[in-house]
């Protein structure tokens, strides 16, 4: 089964909370040019597993005007965490990033903490490079990812950990759109929050991502799921798919 995460932050007595931000990096600075291309993964020195660039916030990331009760949990603070982690791990600077979906909340019993994962599509200024934290970098396609050692990604056990979920969400929004056209009332009715040009919003029970274009049209992307026979989630908007 797909890794089960919380859609809202759980409250568990005795658990601390950590905020983390991760980036989906395409090869090109032009978003359209990245459609169908692989995404960047790296190997961390401490566990030798493939990972997405990113990591946990530190107190210095917190920006007072976020008004956040928990360090790093405000949007500007999260983006500062993302920028710092990208620079430290893969030498990338970026001020141009789009939120992908909603946070994932992971309960780690052995550590007695909740980890709040945030994901962004990043348009980098210059190519990534290895660092003391990231030993190897690789551009990975969905088919190649299935055979890699990624934290808690075990296709044979139908288990996909949070890094795997975010990785495939990255593949999803860099795939060819399932639909590109008018923002209809039917599509609007499937969205629990506003569809905007600055984010990839989950709609229709999290089966699709939607993003508004500058001209007012909308792009819909199937949310990929390597554990499903179809390779993706199937919602109620399949009739909009390109023939």
pLDDT digits 0-9 by tens, 128-137: 988 887 778 9
Q: Does the residue 81 lie in any domain?
A: yes
Backbone dihedral angles phi then psi of residue 141, each to the nearest 5 degrees: -95, 165
Please answer whether residues 187 and 216 qualify as being in contact, where contact means their C-beta atoms are separated by less than 8 angstroms. no
Does residue 45 surpass a pLDDT of 90?
A: no
Let me know whether 139 and 235 are in one domain. no
Look up the CATH number of the domain holding residue 118.
3.90.79.10
For residue 123, the model assigns a pLDDT of: 87
Transcribe 167-181 into DSSP letters. Answer: HHHHHHHTSPPSEEE
Question: What is d(CA 162, CA 169) in angstroms, rounded to the nearest whole number?
Answer: 10
Tokens 């990812």 belong to: 145
In a domain, 171, yes or no: no
Same-domain pairing of 41 and 106: yes
**Shared domain check, 36 and 111:** yes
Tell me how many domains the chain contains.
Answer: 2
Take residue 143 and report the two structure tokens written for it. Answer: 């088919």
> Is residue 47 located within the same domain as residue 154?
yes
Q: Which domain holds residue 192?
A: 179-240
Which pLDDT score is estimated for 4? 41
The answer, yes or no, to whether residue 166 has pLDDT greater than 60, is yes
243, pLDDT greater than 70: no
Is 56 inside any structural domain? yes
- Position 121 scores a pLDDT of 95
Which pLDDT band holds residue 196 (cuts at 50, 70, 90)? very high
- Residue 63 domain flag: yes
Q: Is 162 exposed, middle or buried (0-12, 13-18, 19+ CB in 10 A)?
A: buried
Q: Which of 161, 190, 222 is the last residue of a domain?
A: 161
32 and 114 part of one domain: yes
Whether residue 32 sits in one domain with residue 59: yes
Whether 156 and 186 share a structural domain: no
Residues whose CB is less than 8 angstroms from the CB of residue 53 and which lie 6 or more positions away in sequence, other chains included: 22, 23, 25, 40, 42, 85, 86, 89, 90, 92, 128, 134
Report the percentage of the chain scoring pLDDT > 70: 90
Residue 194 included in any domain: yes
Please check whether residue 76 lies inside any domain of the structure: yes
The pLDDT value recorded for residue 22 is: 96
Same domain, 110 and 20: yes
Q: What is the pLDDT of residue 183?
A: 96
For residue 169, tell me if it sits in a domain: no
Out of 132, 161, 190, pick the residue that ends a domain: 161
Same domain, 118 and 185: no
**Amino acid 67: pLDDT:** 55
Over range 79-108, report the average pLDDT.
Answer: 90
Nearest Cα residue to 104 out of 163, 62, 60: 163
The C-alpha atoms of residue 242 and residue 228 are separated, in whole angstroms, by 21
| 6 occurs within a structural domain | no
Q: Which secondary structure element, helix H or strand E, spans residue 18, and what is its range?
A: strand 16-25
* Mean pLDDT along residues 76-81: 89
The better pLDDT of the pair 210, 102 is held by 210
Of 113, 129, 161, the last residue of a domain is 161
Q: Which of 101-110, 182-191, 200-209, 210-219 has the lowest mean pLDDT?
A: 101-110
- Using DSSP, state whether 55 is helix, strand or coil: strand
Stretch 163-170: mean pLDDT = 93
Both 21 and 124 in one domain: the answer is yes
Tell me how long the chain is. Answer: 243
Asked if 208 and 141 sit in the same domain, the reply is: no
Please list, in sequence order, all residues whose beta carbon lies within 8 angstroms of the beta carbon of residue 2, skipping any fewer than 6 positions away: 158, 160, 165, 225, 227
CB crowding 102-111: b at 16 or more within 10 Å, else e: bbbbbeeeee
Q: What is the mean pLDDT of the chain?
A: 86
Same domain, 129 and 187: no
Does 15 or 10 have the greater pLDDT score? Answer: 15
pLDDT at residue 8 in the model? 66
């Amino acid at each position: 089964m797909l890794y089960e995460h919380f859609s809202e932050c759980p409250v568990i007595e005795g658990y601390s909370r950590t905020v983390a931000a991760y980036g989906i990096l395409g090869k090109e600075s032009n978003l359209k040019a990245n459609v169908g291309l692989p995404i960047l993964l790296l190997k961390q020195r401490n566990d030798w597993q493939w990972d997405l660039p990113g990591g946990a916030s530190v107190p210095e990331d917190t920006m007072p005007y976020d008004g956040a009760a928990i360090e790093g949990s405000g949007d500007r603070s999260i983006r500062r965490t993302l920028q710092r982690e990208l620079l430290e791990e893969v030498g990338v600077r970026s001020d141009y990033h789009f939120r992908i979906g909603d946070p994932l909340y992971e309960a780690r019993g052995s550590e007695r903490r909740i980890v709040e994962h945030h994901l962004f599509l990043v348009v980098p200024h210059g190519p990534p490079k290895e660092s003391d934290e990231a030993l190897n970098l690789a551009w990975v396609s969905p088919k190649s990812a299935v055979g890699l050692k990624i934290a808690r990604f075990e296709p044979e056990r139908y288990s996909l950990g949070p890094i795997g979920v975010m990785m495939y969400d990255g593949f999803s929004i860099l795939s060819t759109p399932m639909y590109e056209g008018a923002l209809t009332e039917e599509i609007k009715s499937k969205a629990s929050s506003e569809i905007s040009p600055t984010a990839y919003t989950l709609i229709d029970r999290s089966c699709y991502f939607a993003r508004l274009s500058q001209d007012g049209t909308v792009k819909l992307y199937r949310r990929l799921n390597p554990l499903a026979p179809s390779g993706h989630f199937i919602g109620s908007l399949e009739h909009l798919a390109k023939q």
